[in-house]
Amino acid sequence: MTDVRVPSRSRAPERGAGESEAPHVATSEQAEGSRPWPVRVPTGPDAMRIAGYGITIFGLVVVAYAVYLFAGSRLEYGRSQRQLMHALSARLAAGRAPLGGRISDGTPVAVLEIPHLHLRVAVIEGTSGSLLRKGPGHLRTSPLPGQRGSSVLIGRRVGFGGPFRNLGDLRKGDVIRTITGEGRSTYVVSSVRSAKSDGTNVLGKSPGNRLALVTSSPEVRAQRRLVVTATLRSTPVLTPFGRSTEV
């Protein structure tokens, strides 16, 4: 049998004495890879297409927010009101509704009834933005409705049920009723006006047993707000010791 030798592939071919190593010539692919790729700025139809995508996404975000504000938030508000009404009814029946002193934020403190607006809602303690998602809030530096002095309730006009959205429809002489742990009280509207948003004293300096309902202005401007002032017609109930009678 003849011995056949297979040359090894790992060995480079031998060069002669007069041969020199050929210089390495870069291919076009290698040459292009060594240079930075130019940045292509979209122009014409491409730019219009990208702008169209951005406008579409922005429009979808706005629509989704509007749906939540006017539909989803209303459901959240309705659920909160049912829970608050149930809790307050139980406390009123047991004689344990809060009357004054330090009341925890979010605690239901009163029922507000406005027959002209077909409104009946639970009022909670506190007026922060998150609390007003549940319903109108009682300004903690004022007495509770029905007590001697001037009480202030603040509510949303838009979103989360908008309990005070029709507040501007009230007129002088309209009746407002409240229910607290001290009983029922009746107020009669004396004025409906626009006021500046700075400060919390929306009742002025004149004394009296009054109720102020405050919301944003009809124009939804941050600089103005709508204030309905009502005068207490029923006998004022006692204001607990330590509770302010003025805002």
191 near 206, Cβ under 8 Å? no
| 158 neighbors 165 (Cβ within 8 angstroms) | yes
Residue 173 DSSP SS3: coil
Least confident of 24-33, 104-113, 231-240: 24-33
Distance CA(195)–CA(246), nearest Å, equals 18
pLDDT tens, residue by residue, 29-80: 555 555 665 656 566 677 777 777 677 777 767 665 555 555 566 788 989 9
Asked whether the predicted pLDDT for residue 236 surpasses 90, the reply is yes
Cβ–Cβ contacts within 10 Å for residue 10, how many? 5
pTM for the predicted model, two decimal places: 0.69
Give me the residue label for tokens 């006009």.
157
Lowest mean pLDDT among 48-62, 90-104, 126-140: 48-62
Residue 111's pLDDT band (cuts 50, 70, 90): very high
HEC string of 53-78 equals HHHHHHHHHHHHHHHHHHHHHHHHHH
| 115 membership: H or E segment, kind and range | none
Tokens of 232: 């207490």
